[in-house]
Chains A and B, each alone.
Chain A
C-alpha cells in the first residue's frame, strides 16, 4: 500500500505543478543543444510552406493545451507547430526532426482529455488538421479511406446517404478527428454494441520515427505476421503517426428505438443496468445521467428528462424491426421491475434526437453549474456499479465537491465530473486530491484508469496502481521496438523510469530478486 500511496503523491505533486520533473528538462536540453533553431524553422518552411509552420509565441498558445484540465496536465509551448497537407510532408518533417533529435508530437483537433497532444519538454507539434480529405468511400465493401484530419461526425454524415456510419462516436465527435480516435482508441456511447475504434480499423498508413512510410493491414483474412495495427491503435501517438486510415463502416440498422427510464434512486438505476446486461440484452447504448446532470441539461435543452428523477437511463436498441420491438418490450419490463418511476419511448426521429441531445451536450451544459469541471474516465466491472457510485458520492461529501455523473453505464465506464471554480483558492488542489481518491477507489473495485480518454501525462503517475514493474517493462518494450530514441510523444503513458536502459536493468533486477540468478 505504501508504494501505491507514494505513486499517488508523486502524481499529485506533478499535477499541481509544485514539482517540475527532471526528465522534462532533459528533453529540452536534447532539443536545443547545438541546434540552429532558425535554420531548423527554415527547413520546416521548405517542407510545409510559410503558412504551414507556426512559431510565434502568440500562434502557439492553442498548441500548448489539449482538452484536459489545466492543473491536472502540465501545459507546454512547443518550439513550432507544423501543418502538413500530405504524407510526404509529414514524412519529411519527421525525418528532419529525427536528424536533429527533436521530439515530435502528433495532434488532431486537440480535444483529448489526458494531455496526449501536449508537447512535453518542447519539440514540434505536427497538427494533422489540414489533412482532412476523404480519399475513397466504398459502399460495396463498406469501407472508407480517410486522412487523419477528417472529423468524426463528418465521416458518418458523409456516408449516411450510402446507408452506413462510423461506429465510434465520442462526445467530441463534432470536432475530434479520426486520426485522434486512432491514437486514443476512442469510444463513445455506441461502443457498447459496436466496439471501440480498434474494432473498426482495417489498415493504416503510418510514418515511423525515422520518416519511413509504411502501409499496415490490420489482421484479417489472408494477413499473416504480427498484428501491428492492433498495437498502433490506442498507442497515443508514441509509436507512429497515421497519415491514412482505412475504416470499416457499419450498415445503418433497419430500426432504432430510444427509451428513457427514470429512477428515484441511483441504486435502482444502477441495478437496472446490471439487470439489462444480465438478461442477455446488448443495447446499442446504455447511458446514465444523475440528478445533477439532469439539473444542468434539462433547462438548457428541454430534452424531456424528469427534473425530479435521481437518475435517468437512456437506452438505444437497434437491429431488425422484429428484434427491436421484442427487445424494447423486454427492456421496459426490466426497467419497471428495477423500480423505474417512468419509462418512455421516443416516437419520432426528432424525439430520439432530442433525448440524445441532452446526453451528447451534457458536458457543455455543465457551465450552468460551475465554471470548471474535471472529467474522469475510470471503468469498473458492471456488477460493481452501485457500490462505485456510492463511493463516488462519499468522495463528493468528503471533499465538499459537487460531482455529476454522466456515463456509459453499459460498459461500466464512469465519467464523474468534478465541478469547481478555478478562481477559488484551493479548489484545484481539492479536486486533484479527490481525483486521487476516486481513481484509487475504482481500481480497488477491480477497475482501470481509463476507458476511452487515454493515459497521456494526466494518469501516467497512476499506472503503477494497476501494473507491476514487469507489466510496465513489457509495455516499454513495445515503445523501444518502434521508437528507441523516443522521438514520438516522449514521456507519456509510461511512468518515469520505464524507458531506455532502465527497463532492461529493472527486468534484470526483478529476475535476480526472484530467482537469485544473474541473467546474461
Chain B
C-alpha cells in the first residue's frame, strides 16, 4: 500500500482522497495560487521526473475505484481510474479476458496510473501498448473542466484523440478519472523459453533474428550484465500452435540453448517478477530507458558498455524487437550531465532517445530530467496552458520546468 507520509521522499502538506470528479474539480480550482497537486494512483511511479522540494497537495485517487461498465461480448470495459490493476485483471479473467500488458506491482498500481505513466511492457512486441487499447477517458483538466472523449466503441474518429494524449502525460494536463479500454480474450496457453548465459551481444542478435522470423512471438528479452545475457521468449495463444512454435524456435537455435521452459502460471509469474524488478525504485540505482530502431540495438549496447561498464556494473534488460534498452546503473558512478555528455559525444543521439525512468532523489535534484526538442516544447507548453493554465498539476515535475523557462526566454511563438 501507498505510504501517504512520503511522496518521492517529501512529506506532502496535505493529502486529499476525492471520490468523485466534482470533488477533484473543486480541489483543482482551489483559491490559493501557490497550491499544486500531485495526483497519484498506486504511487508506483512517483520517482519519475524532476525532484520537487515540496508537495502542497497529494491527491490519492484510490477512492475512485470500481468497474463502471463491462460487457464481455463487446470486449470493452469502462473502469474508474483508482481501481487496482490486479482487480481489473481478475474481473476480466472471470470472463476469460484480459489486457495484454504486464504492469509492475499490479496489486498497488492503478488503471489510471498505468495510463498516465504510459507503462509499456515487453509484450509491446506483438500486442502493442495500452494506448492502442484506450478507446475513451473521462478527466478533469488542471483548470477544473470536467470532460470526456472517445466512447465505448472499438473504432472512433469523432473528434480529437484526447485519451491518447493523456496516455504517458503523467498527470500533467488532467486528472484521469475513468478509462474505457478494449480487452482481449485470454490465451488458452502460454509458454516461456529461457536460455542459459551467453555473450550479451550474441543474445541480442539471436533475439532480433528470431523475432523477425517469427512474428507470433509475444515478447523476447535479453537480461544480463555487460558480458553475459539470458534470453527469455514468451509465447501465448492456442496450446498446440504455440507448442509447435516452441519446437520450431528450439530447432532454429543452435547449441545448448532454450533448455528451460515455463508453462502457464509459472510463465506469467516469471514476467510479473521481471516487470517488478525493472520498476523497483532504489536509493542507489538509476534506471534509464533507451529507445532505438531494433537493428541498432546491439551497436548502441556495445557503445554504452564500452563507455561505462568497467565502473558502473550496468544491468541490462533489452527487448531487441522493439528497440528498447533498459539500463540500471549505480547512481554513484554517473551524473545526468555525464550521461548527456556521453550521449552527445558518442553520436548515439542521432539514432536513439532516452528517458530517465527512475533515480534517487538527490540524483534528480536541481536538473531537468527529461529533455524534449525546443519546437515540441512550445506545443507542449501551449497544451499545458490550455489544460492547466495555473499550473495546478504536477508543477515543475516533468517537462514543465524547462517549458516555463523556454517561454520566459523566447516569448510565445503564436
Contact = CB atoms under 8 A, between A and B. Distances in A.
Given A222-B352, A470-B146, A143 B159 contact: no
Given A195-B132, A474-B162, A379 B237 contact: no
Interface string A92-114: 00000000000000000000000
A307 interface: no
Contacts of B185: 279-282
B334 interface: no
A478 B160 contact: yes
A184 to B, nearest CB: 7
A348 interface: no
Interface stretch (A125-133, A288-296, A354-362, A441-449): A441-449
A141 interface: yes
Contact of B161 (A214, A230, A519): A230
B348 to A, nearest CB: 11
A231 B164 contact: yes
A160 B354 CA distance: 32
Contact of A223 (B75, B143, B291, B319): B291
Contact residues on A (Cβ < 8 Å of other chain), bracket: 35 or more
B167 to A, nearest CB: 6
A415 to B, nearest CB: 12
A480 B325 CA distance: 37
A481 B376 contact: no
Interface string B334-359: 00000000000000000011110000
Contacts of B377: 225
Interface string A478-520: 1111101100000001100000000000010011001101010
A320 B380 contact: no
Contacts of B159: 455, 463, 467, 471-472, 475, 493-494
A119 B265 CA distance: 58
Contact of A451 (B155, B186, B295): B155
B153 A326 contact: no
B383 interface: yes
Contact of B158 (A143, A230, A327, A448): A448
B376 A214 contact: yes
A198 B379 contact: no
A143 to B, nearest CB: 7
Which of A222, A448, A494 lies at the interface centre, i.e. has the most chain B CB atoms within 10 A of its CB? A222
B240 A326 contact: yes
A450 interface: yes
Contacts of B22: 514
A414 to B, nearest CB: 11
Contact of A446 (B152, B240, B371): B152
Interface residues of B, number: 91
Nearest to A187: B155
B90 interface: no
B131 A277 contact: no
A320 to B, nearest CB: 5
Nearest to A465: B158
Interface stretch (B7-15, B52-60, B66-74): B66-74
B245 to A, nearest CB: 6
A364 B85 CA distance: 48
B401 to A, nearest CB: 12
B76 to A, nearest CB: 7
Contact of A323 (B216, B323, B371, B382): B216
Nearest to A202: B293
A207 to B, nearest CB: 11
A222 B354 contact: yes
Which of A220, A452, A459, A515 lies at the interface centre, i.e. has the most chain B CB atoms within 10 A of its CB? A220
Interface stretch (A38-46, A52-60, A405-413, A417-425): A405-413
Interface stretch (A22-30, A367-375, A380-388): A380-388
Contacts of A446: 151-153
A234 B168 contact: no
15 contacts: A208-B375, A214-B373, A222-B290, A222-B354, A225-B399, A226-B169, A227-B168, A235-B160, A323-B238, A379-B153, A450-B158, A470-B146, A474-B141, A478-B160, A479-B160
Given A319-B216, A382-B74, A474-B149, 14 more contacts: A138-B293, A209-B414, A221-B324, A226-B168, A230-B167, A251-B212, A277-B75, A326-B240, A450-B157, A455-B158, A473-B147, A474-B145, A480-B382, A511-B144
